[in-house]
Amino acid sequence: MSDPEVPQKAPYVQETNVGKYAWCSCGKSDKQPFCDGSHRNTDMTPVIVEIETKKNVAWCGCKHTKTPPYCDGSHKDLS
């Protein structure tokens, strides 16, 4: 599996409405933290998640989380 690009070394914290979201796992999307199809030439796929109540979400921005699509602080260990 390829290593993802790192769009930012911090989470994307957003108030998120109810609905389905496709979180970008490759780091190539121009619509971070969400997928825009840029992974097509990689072996990566987006992570689909359904948000059931409106809430603040810390989407992983470094793409190295061990709890995709949510930030787990992994960006602190990147050089």
**What's the pTM?**
0.94
What per-residue confidence (pLDDT) applies to 28?
97
State how far the alpha carbon of 7 is from the alpha carbons of 14, 31, 54, 55, 60, in Å: 16, 11, 25, 23, 10
- Say which CATH topology domain 12-66 has: Ribosomal Protein L9; domain 1 (3.40.5)
- pLDDT tens, position by position, 11-63: 999 999 999 999 999 999 999 999 999 999 899 999 999 999 999 999 999 99
Round to whole Å and give the CA distance between 64 and 75: 7
Round to whole Å and give the CA distance between 45 and 14: 22
Alpha helices in 13-72 (DSSP H): none
The pair of structure tokens assigned to 44 is 């990566």
Q: Write down the domain spans for the chain.
A: 12-66
